[in-house]
Amino acid sequence: MRQWSWLGDAAATAQRHSDLWRLLGPRPALVEPPSGVLIATQTTENARVETWTLTLNSEETVPAILMRPRDKPSRSLVLYCHAHGNRFECGKDELLTGRLALQNPPYGETLASLGFASLAIDHWCFGERDFGGVKSERAMVKRLLWEGKTLWGYRVHDALASLEWARTQPDLAQLPVTALGLSMGSTMAIWAAALEPSINACIDLCCLAEYDALVASGGFDQHGEYFFVPGLRAEFTAAEISALIAPRPHLSLVGRDDPLTPPAGVRSIDRALSAAYASLEKPQYWQQQVFDCGHQETTEMRSVVMDFLEHIR
C-alpha cells in the first residue's frame, strides 16, 4: 500500500482530486448552468417518471430519466449509474425497466416507494446517445485516445454534470445524494463520489476489487475498453480512489464467484479502506459484504442496499 498521508488533509485531498481529473484527460466543456427540456411524463404505482433532454456538455444533448415519488416529497436523491453488460440499447432505462443482473422490481420504482428520487442518464454510446455518428464504444475509445482524451472521462463528466443539473430543480436542490450502481455503474458511483465531495454516500455492487488482483487473476480482461485510463495504476490503486470518499458512508457488495471481484482483490480493498476509515474515526461508515453469487445482485444484496439507504447519516 502506498502512502496515505493525504487522508484528512484538505489541500492534499484536493491535489489527489486534481491528479485523478488529469488522468481522465480533457473533457467536453461544461455548460453553465446545465439545463433541460422535459419531454414526457408518466406515472407508475409509486413514481412520477419524467423523461428529459439535458444540456450538460458542449458536444451533444443527454437523455435522462428523473423519477420522483408519486404522492409525497422526495426525501433524498439517488444518482443512479447504469450498468454495461454490452446492452448498449438500455442505458438510463435500466432505472425504470431493470436488467437480468438486477432484482425486481427495478430500482426506480423501489426507491420511489420509499420516498427517494432517482436520476439516470444515458452514458456515452448507450441508449439514445449519438457522438457525431460514432455509435460503437470501441470506436469512440479509439477516437478519443487519438485526441488525448478518455471515454471514461467523458462519462464521469456527464454523470457529475447531471447531478449539477438536478440541483437546479427546487425540490431536489438541498437533498442528500447517494451514488448507486452495479458493474460499470458501480465504478461510476465510486468515481463520482470520489471526485464530488457533495455526494453524501456511495453504494457499489459487483465491481470493486484491487487492480493488482485483477491483473493477477486475468479478470481485468473482462472489463470493456472504457475501464482503462492511461497511467492510472502508476498513480492510484482502486483503494486510493475509493478512499477519496472517506469518511462519507460507503457500502460495497460483491459476489464470491464474480471474476470481476477476485477474492484477493476484495480482501485488499477491505483492509485498505478499513484502515482509512479508522484513521478518520469513522470505521462504521465503511461496509463491505461478500455474497455467494457471481456478477449479479441477489435478494439479500437488495435488502442490504435498502437498509443502508434507510440508515445513512
Side chain identity at 10, as an amino acid letter? Answer: A
Q: Which residues pair with 288 in a beta bridge?
A: 252
pLDDT at 131: 63
Q: How much is the average pLDDT of 117-132? A: 89
- The rounded percent of the chain whose pLDDT value lies above 70 is 97
Q: Which residues pair with 53 in a beta bridge?
A: 37, 63
Half-sphere exposure of 65 (CA within 13 A, CB side): 26
pLDDT at 192 over 90: yes
* Residue 201: φ, ψ to 5°: -160, 165
Q: How much is the average pLDDT of 36-47? A: 96
Please indicate whether residue 188 or residue 33 has the higher confidence score (pLDDT): 188
pLDDT at 116: 97
Distance (Å, whole) CA 267 – CA 257: 14
Other C-beta atoms within 10 Å of 38: how many?
10
CA-based torsion, 219, 295, 83, 247: positive or negative: negative
Question: What distance lies between CA 111 and its chain's CA centroid?
Answer: 16
Q: How much is the average pLDDT of 193-220? A: 97
Residue 31: all three cell numbers together: 455548460
Q: What's the pLDDT tens digit per position in 245-285? A: 999 999 999 999 999 999 999 999 999 999 999 999 999 99
Residue 51: all three cell numbers together: 423523461
pLDDT bin (cut points 50, 70, 90) of residue 80 is very high
Q: How much is the average pLDDT of 106-110? A: 96
pLDDT at 40 over 50: yes
The side-by-side arrangement of strands in the sheet containing 47-57 is 30-43, 47-57, 62-69, 116-121, 76-81, 177-182, 201-205, 250-255, 286-291
- The residue assigned the cell 480512489 is 241
**Would you tell me the crossing angle of helices 10-24 and 184-195 to the nearest 10 degrees?**
140
Pinpoint the alpha helices (H) of 223-281.
232-235, 238-243, 263-279
Residue 141: all three cell numbers together: 475509445
Name the nearest CA neighbour of 82 among 222, 207, 189: 189
pTM of the model: 0.96
- The residue assigned the cell 485531498 is 13
Q: How much is the average pLDDT of 207-218? A: 97
Domains of the chain plus CATH, in order, are 10-308 (3.40.50.1820)
Q: What's the pLDDT tens digit per position in 130-189? A: 766 666 899 999 999 999 999 999 999 999 999 999 999 999 999 999 999 999 999 999
Distance (Å, whole) CA 74 – CA 93: 20
Other C-beta atoms within 10 Å of 244: how many?
22
pLDDT at 8 over 90: no
The mean of the pLDDT values for the chain is 94
Question: What distance lies between CA 39 and its chain's CA centroid?
Answer: 25
Side chain identity at 283, as an amino acid letter? Answer: P
pLDDT at 1 over 60: no
